[in-house]
Amino acid sequence: METPPDALHGTATESAALRAAREIGYGSIAGMVSKVFEHPFDLTKVRLQSQVLDATARFNGPIDCLKQTWQKEGIRGLYRGLPAPIVGAMAENASLFLAYGEFQTLIRRFTHRPLEDKLPLYQLALAAAGAGAVTSFILTPIELVKCKMQVQMIAPQAAVTPGTVPRPLPGPISVLFTVIRSTGLRGLWLGHTGTLIRETGGTAAWFGTKEYVASLLLARRARLENTTVSPTELRPWESALSGACAGAAFNFALFPADSVKSTMQTAEELRPTVVGGPQVPKLSFGQTFMAMYRAQGIKGLYAGCGITVARSIPSSAIIFLIYDELKKYLG
């Protein structure tokens, strides 16, 4: 007796839905764990990026920034703005891994490849770029809130007059609605050009590097053990090492785009318009890029790059280690 077409379609749909749910779950867990580890370093990066256009730098480098933040704000200061990136990490990694898988499926259908065949590296990079482009639309509003919160304590309006009680700083929901009230929903995507460039190119480098290094490690093990190794049989250290290499590649590839984005998203807090003074038009992505280049050259565009790459290596290793292990044992 033949299986009815509807039953086959239902099974395929259920399988696709289950696969999607797993990708979302595994990506979310991996993203949340890594974000808690890396947040103090991300805060340092944003603060260093946001001072490029200032006449006088607040910090002399990443170590000075971490030291000053710890001395003046304590542990809460190092984790200022954490709720937004936690939500962002869930959304980002769930979207990235889900979209990456779906774009691979789309490429297989377009090229008439069997689902079980592994795609060549350039097609994997293409799928990753598509996943990054999709994720950038989710990520920009979350990063906007995060960046604004990360510079709250160093903004001019945060200065406290001696003898007065400091005002409580707004939380993520308050920051979100303040943006909407002042600039509308469209304002949530301030700096999106930078996020789009960073995520599209960076994600291609991220997944592409991970897949390439993982394939080298698998080939090495197959050669040493004189056996055939499946691409899904990465050992924990192999997942972590290939993920660490991917983290370095992602952040170094298009870091200036991220610097411009952070500068645009924190301009209102760090360089506010004087009440009653001349209204200065907001700079576009290209104008901000050129202003930063004129101010400090290539060095300004790569402000905070060192600490970002340093934290992204273990952070990315954690993401892929957790994701690969969850997928290995839970399917």
| Half-sphere exposure at residue 297, Cβ-oriented, CA atoms within 13 angstroms | 1
The pLDDT tens digits for 140-151 are 998 999 889 888
User: In whole angstroms, what is the distance from residue 324 CA to residue 292 CA?
Assistant: 39
Give the pLDDT confidence score for residue 228 in this predicted structure: 78
The CATH superfamily label for domain 13-155+169-330 reads: Mitochondrial carrier domain (1.50.40.10)
Q: Do residues 92 and 195 make contact, with C-beta atoms less than 8 angstroms apart?
A: no
Looking at per-residue pLDDT, the higher value among 124 and 81 belongs to: 124
Q: Residue 28 above 90 pLDDT?
A: no
Q: Where are the domains of the chain?
A: 13-155+169-330
Q: Which of 75-84, 146-155, 303-312 has the highest mean pLDDT?
A: 303-312
Q: Residue 3 above 50 pLDDT?
A: no
The pLDDT tens digits for 86-115 are 887 888 888 898 999 999 999 999 999 987
The pLDDT tens digits for 127-181 are 999 999 999 999 999 899 988 988 887 777 665 555 555 667 788 889 999 999 9
User: In whole angstroms, what is the distance from residue 90 CA to residue 181 CA?
Assistant: 26
Q: Residue 84 above 80 pLDDT?
A: no
Give the rounded distance of the alpha carbon of 96 from its chain centre.
10
Q: Is the pTM of this model over 0.75?
A: yes
CA angle, 235 then 128 then 228, to 5°: 30
User: In whole angstroms, what is the distance from residue 235 CA to residue 225 CA?
Assistant: 14
SS (H, E, C) the chain: CCCCHHHHHHHHHHHHHHHHHHHHHHHHHHHHHHHHHHHHHHHHHHHHHHCCCCCCCCCCCHHHHHHHHHHHHHHHHHCCCCHHHHHHHHHHHHHHHHHHHHHHHHHHHHHCCCCCCCCCHHHHHHHHHHHHHHHHHHHHHHHHHHHHHHCHHHCHHHCCCCCCCCCCCCCHHHHHHHHHHHHCHHHHHCCHHHHHHHHHHHHHHHHHHHHHHHHHHHHHHHHHHCCCCCCCCCCHHHHHHHHHHHHHHHHHHCHHHHHHHHHHHHHHHHCCCCCCCCCCCCCCHHHHHHHHHHHHHHHHHCCCHHHHHHHHHHHHHHHHHHHHHHHHHHC
Q: Residue 30 above 80 pLDDT?
A: yes
Q: What percent of the chain stands above pLDDT 70?
A: 89
Q: Do residues 191 and 261 make contact, with C-beta atoms less than 8 angstroms apart?
A: yes
